[in-house]
Amino acid sequence: MFNKAFSLLFFALLCTASASFAFGQSYVSSAGNDANPCDAANPCRTVNRALAAAGVGGTALLADAGPYDAFVITRSARVVAVTGAAPRIIAPDNSTPAIKVALPPDEYAYLEGLIFNTAADRATAVSWVTPSKLLWMKNCQVYGFLNGLSATAGGNMFVDTCAFNGGGGGEGIGLETSSETEPIYSTIQYTDISGYYIGAAAGSNTDVGILGSRIFGCNAGVMARALNADLGGSDNSRAYVTVTGSWVYGNSMGLIQDWTFSSVTRTVLRLGYNRVYSNSGAGIWGGCDLGGNAVFGNGWTFIDDLWRSGRAPACAF
């Protein structure tokens, strides 16, 4: 479960990644050339070239707004906007994510200050496809993609102070893997998610904590749904989601615990100190109460009454 022990583990992973940040450094610019050495005076043009120049554990610094072509991260790396820059990463078509992360085990990717745009109507901004240590997104903005962050393999996902705005379909943050031995652990904090079919989707073999975030304008704001093996999950797949100190509003459905494809003990939605309001259907469907939730003004008023009266189920753990 998402608990203090996991928080300490996650902090240790971040410290491990941070300790590697002193490796090689390269520069990318819209006026650069890939024949250059990729230093500050002679930047290269593509992020792929800059990552190769920086080496494993190195940093590619994006010096201006670009735009920059899609790229693939295959070894530990940082891709960071230079202070004052607002670099745009473009997905050229539906089958090519703006960033594909395909790392060996025990390696990481760090993305900071990036803006994601798409020239295609059903593209993915960031795709995590192999089990590895860590993906950390900080101060990133995702606009117009069908899917913002899509993780289909195990690892630690840390999304910090980002914004995801979609075009009405797909998932802002979608996490799911069939592997019980390499699950996905994720923290989403101080992040806005809007305009998706599902804002934050925690699927099979996930443990997700959402803190201090705003999720609005979606068909479903947050959904927990583990699947049985015959549906693409696994025999004992689980989805554990804890949402605290967040605002969930203006969706068709706010927070959903959908355990019909596994069991009520394998799909768990824990809620504490949230404001859940102005959702046209149910503010909360399922879920258990950690206390401090304000639930009001939603379409299904009988559920609001349940939570306001203290009759919502208490969390067993």
pLDDT of residue 7: 47
- 14: confidence class by pLDDT, cuts 50, 70, 90: low
Residue 119 — pLDDT band, cuts 50, 70, 90? confident
Burial class (CB in 10 A: 0-12, 13-18, 19+), 137: buried
> Coil, helix or strand for 227?
coil
Q: Predicted confidence band at 2 (pLDDT cuts at 50, 70, 90)? A: very low
Check residue 180 and give its pLDDT.
94
Tens of pLDDT, residue by residue over 220-263, are 999 999 998 888 888 899 999 999 999 999 999 999 999 888 88
Nearest-CA neighbor of 316 among 266, 284, 270? 270
Residue 188 confidence (pLDDT) above 90: yes
Q: Tell me the per-residue pLDDT of 21-56, one tens digit each, with 9 for 90 and over.
A: 447 999 999 999 999 999 999 999 999 999 999 999
Give the sign of the dihedral formed by CA 30, CA 192, CA 11, CA 127. Answer: negative
Mark 162-183 as b/e (b = at least 16 C-beta within 10 Å). bbbbbeeebbbbbbbbbebeeb
C-beta separation of 77 from 109 below 8 A? yes
Is the pLDDT at 117 greater than 50? The verdict is yes
Q: To the nearest whole number, what is the mean pLDDT of the chain?
A: 92
Residue 146 has pLDDT above 80, yes or no: yes
C-alpha to C-alpha distance for 103 and 96, rounded to whole angstroms: 17
SS3 (DSSP) at 298 = coil
Only one residue has tokens 């479903």, namely 220
Question: Cβ-count burial of 31 within 10 angstroms (0-12 exposed, 13-18 middle, 19+ buried)?
Answer: exposed
What would the pLDDT profile of 292-305 be if each residue is shown by its tens digit?
999 999 999 999 99
- Contact by Cβ (8 Å): 268, 241: yes
Give phi and psi for 164, each to the nearest 5: -120, 120
Give 158-226 as a DSSP string: EEES-EEE-SSSSEEEEE--S-SSS-EEEEEES-EEESSSEEEEE-TTEEEEEES-EEESSSEEEEE--
The confidence band for 110, taking pLDDT boundaries of 50, 70 and 90, is very high
Instruction: Identify which of 125, 127, 129, 128 has the alpha carbon closest to the alpha carbon of residue 116.
Output: 125
| Residues in Cβ contact with 191 at an 8 Å cutoff, skipping those fewer than 6 apart | 159, 160, 161, 162, 163, 164, 213, 214
